[in-house]
Structure 1
């Protein structure tokens, strides 16, 4: 089962398709003078793809080992097989898990430090989709540990995770406008994901869904893309650097500086575990606070 789980990861198989899509989109943007790509930014995105793949190697092996063990001790392992309903149920449970994993990466500063490089590009394109969060690879699979306990085998889990990531690649684009209202109501679309990558106060920490947008609608983190508030991509304070080390480490270094200035353990813990933007020595710039100050809800 361990070997099969490794084989069922579709990410490597899809990589040539991803790179072809980047080249095609970049060619189209260049031909039509759309200013949607910049070489240094794209190379930084690709460097994060390589770094995330390296960092994930050991955590993935440890997670697969844990998945196998947890599946073996699950009282449901002989009930949940590979029936059609099991695949369908796993799809929803995986997407639900991804929502909370992704949301936690935005609402806990220590986790945000491992995810922020995915948002540090001031562009949104298929290369940005490959600009994977590096530090988040260390804790990612912890969020999925409950699924093998429910009887789902590791190969199924890895397959569904891979299919979700495959879907999410294609929503990192400005080339597709809003789709049919029913699609926009249920699925995470390019329009919804443009909001997620925005630095506008209205859009900060919104639309965390993977394939489905229904979790954001249910749990109060949904925001519609609006014509009267065009998306501005990047961070609230951009790093303005394509240096891979800067892209990867800048928020970890900012956290370390804040920890050194903290006066007590309460401030240290708040620095690590409250949402990005909280500061013991300055104005509170957390997304929820900024929206409240701007009269946005």
Structure 2
């Protein structure tokens, strides 16, 4: 069981499901928009992410083992309660990782490629980062091993989470039963997450359980009167694989070279931050959206949550 890799085991299912969605869409039996070049970029990003993950796997595993050697408790992999506990704690960790990846530019640079497609289909789920290992987001999971969960147990649960999140990248499924929508992340919830509408920006960070978004104030339901528009605020308008993978890192580099004394802000400020306020931050995007709708008061707009999606280094 220690060698179980849910993602590897599920990969054939991923491919078959994408093919099935394409076929059903062509037959008019499912809602799904595929563009060949866009789909190829997603598949290539997925392959590149796997290769990049292998390149950093040794460091991640070694760090996890070292932390585990200094663990607080001995948690057995054979205990059912331990699997329930790691499920909840890993999912909570994923929520905060995902939120951090949207709210701070350094980690957004690693995550942004997942949001660059202007289509939303199962292939979008495979459009994964090449630079997550370098960005160090894996550090957020080390406390689980420090508590006492074996690194293999944590890795398996992370894989289960990724497998779960595959099926929610689709427009072919409407809404699930109300009780399911209340507890779990669903295609409806995740469509909101991938949308660039001001109302929807940077909402629904959930991995498996949507309850974290409800608890921490980042939940936004999908509204029938406002269809989702996908991509980022300033879309790339290119299928160049290297640009998709590295464009935000390059933008950060240009900003630092131009104004090195503001390097910390360029790196760790929210996406869209600039020292002179010439670019749109999340607050500015929210304020502009609310100002165009007099019936929405600033307080009500703020209550719907943050919208840090001025996602490139340049104005949206």
Q: When the two structures are superposed, what TM-score results if normalisation uses the length of structure 1?
A: 0.93
Q: Does 1:105 align with 2:96?
A: no
- State the shift of 1:50 in Å: 1.2
Q: 1:292 aligns with which of 268, 287, 296?
A: 287
Equivalent in the alignment of 2:274:
279
Return closer, same or farther for 1:35/1:154 CA change in 2, 3 Å cut-off: closer
Equivalent in the alignment of 1:27:
23
Equivalent in the alignment of 2:65:
68
Q: Does 1:203 align with 2:200?
A: yes
Equivalent in the alignment of 1:270:
265
1:52 and 1:137 in contact (8 A); partners too: no
Equivalent in the alignment of 2:90:
94
CA–CA distance in structure 2, aligned partners of residues 13 and 64 of structure 1: 20
Q: Does 1:132 align with 2:131?
A: no
Structure 1 stretch 35-44 or stretch 52-61: which is displaced more? 52-61
- State the shift of 1:34 in Å: 5.2
Can you list the C-alpha shifts for 1:111-157, whole angstroms capped at 9, x where unaligned?
A: 11111110000011110000112212332321100011111111111
Equivalent in the alignment of 1:222:
219
1:120 and 1:239 in contact (8 A); partners too: yes
Equivalent in the alignment of 2:231:
234
**Aligned-residue CA RMSD (Å):** 1.7
CA–CA distance in structure 2, aligned partners of residues 87 and 24 of structure 1: 33
Q: 1:123 aligns with which of 119, 143, 146?
A: 119
Structure 1 unpaired stretches of 5+: none
Alignment of 1:26-65 (within 5 A): 26-32=22-28, 36-65=33-62
Can you list the C-alpha shifts for 1:196-231, whole angstroms capped at 9, x where unaligned?
A: 001111111111110001111111111111122210
Q: Does 1:85 align with 2:72?
A: no
SS at match of 1:97: helix
Equivalent in the alignment of 2:296:
none
Return closer, same or farther for 1:25/1:81 CA change in 2, 3 Å cut-off: closer
State the aligned residue count.
Answer: 290
CA–CA distance in structure 2, aligned partners of residues 35 and 192 of structure 1: 17
Equivalent in the alignment of 2:177:
180
CA–CA distance in structure 1, aligned partners of residues 235 and 115 of structure 2: 10
Structure 1 stretch 25-34 or stretch 121-130: which is displaced more? 25-34
CA–CA distance in structure 2, aligned partners of residues 243 and 29 of structure 1: 26
CA–CA distance in structure 1, aligned partners of residues 251 and 276 of structure 2: 14
- State the shift of 1:35 in Å: 6.0
Equivalent in the alignment of 1:10:
6
2:32 and 2:121 in contact (8 A); partners too: no
CA–CA distance in structure 2, aligned partners of residues 34 and 174 of structure 1: 6
Equivalent in the alignment of 2:312:
none
CA–CA distance in structure 2, aligned partners of residues 24 and 168 of structure 1: 18
State the 4+ residue runs in structure 1 displaced beyond 4 angstroms: none
- State the shift of 1:80 in Å: 4.5
Q: When the two structures are superposed, what TM-score results if normalisation uses the length of structure 2?
A: 0.87
- State the shift of 1:82 in Å: 2.8
CA–CA distance in structure 1, aligned partners of residues 222 and 88 of structure 2: 25
Q: 1:152 aligns with which of 149, 154, 166?
A: 149
Structure 2 unpaired stretches of 5+: 291-300, 303-316
- State the shift of 1:72 in Å: 2.2
CA–CA distance in structure 2, aligned partners of residues 179 and 22 of structure 1: 20
- State the shift of 1:22 in Å: 0.7
